[in-house]
Every structure is written in C-alpha cells, then in structure tokens.
Amino acid sequence: MKLTRQKLRELIIEVLEERKKRKKRRSKKKIDYKEAYRKYHASKKAKRQRAQRNRIGRQLKKAGVKVPKGYEIDHIKPINSGGSNDLDNIRIIPRKKNRSEGQKITTRKRKKNRTY
C-alpha cells in the first residue's frame, strides 16, 4: 500500500489526537505548594517542633560535640512521635540517610492526610 502525503498527514494527526486523549485521562490534580508549605512549615506546631530540633544542636555545641561535614543530628524516635532531646535518643548519621528516612515519614503522613 502506497502512502500519499495526505494519508500520512491524516495518520499523524490521528495518532496525536489519541495521545492528547490519553494525557487528559492521566492528568493528576495539581498540588498547591504554597498551601502545603503554610500547612507544614508555618503552623505553630511546626515552629515548636523546629525549635526543639534546633535546641539539641545548641546543646551538643555547648558540650563540645562537633558534627562532621556531611552528617546530621537525628532523633531515633522523632520529636513529633513523642521522642525527646535526651542524648539516648540522639545519633549522628550521614545527611543522605537522614533525608531519605525523613522523606519516608513525611510521605506516609501526607498520604494518610490525603494532602500529597
């Protein structure tokens, strides 16, 4: 079967229209990042928790403990889950590991609250 230019054009247009229809079906709800930021970072609860996390850093600095470059202070049991700033609940771990663990926790919470 020989394809003429006109036939080829029609086939291309047909394929493109099918793709547009599929994209419309797959489109997700847009996330309002500003609203998410206000909810998770600017609330009184979030500010209080951030202050608690910063407090342990100051305590360690006064005690003469230096956190190496590329490492972070981590709470074994998170403060928002009832953890404390006791030295038994603190560890120093690589930044990459700490961020990946934190991402898992926040993702679970957002999915539970249906804000993700």
Q: Look at residue 5 and tell me if it is in a domain.
A: no
Tens-place pLDDT, residues 25-51: 655 677 778 887 777 677 787 788 778
Q: Look at residue 105 and tell me if it is in a domain.
A: yes
Q: Look at residue 9 and tell me if it is in a domain.
A: no
Q: What is the model's pLDDT at position 54? A: 84
Q: Look at residue 4 and tell me if it is in a domain.
A: no
- The pTM of the whole model exceeds 0.75: no
pLDDT band at 56 (very low <50, low <70, confident <90, very high): confident
Distance CA 35, CA 41 (A): 10
pLDDT band at 1 (very low <50, low <70, confident <90, very high): low
Q: Look at residue 26 and tell me if it is in a domain.
A: no
Domain containing 64: what range? 32-113
Q: Look at residue 91 and tell me if it is in a domain.
A: yes
Q: Look at residue 76 and tell me if it is in a domain.
A: yes
Who wins on pLDDT, 109 or 72? 72
Say if CB 40 and CB 46 are below 8 A apart.
yes
Share of the chain above pLDDT 90, in %: 0
Q: Look at residue 97 and tell me if it is in a domain.
A: yes
Q: What is the model's pLDDT at position 89? A: 87
**Can you list the positions of beta strands (E) in the chain?**
71-75, 90-94
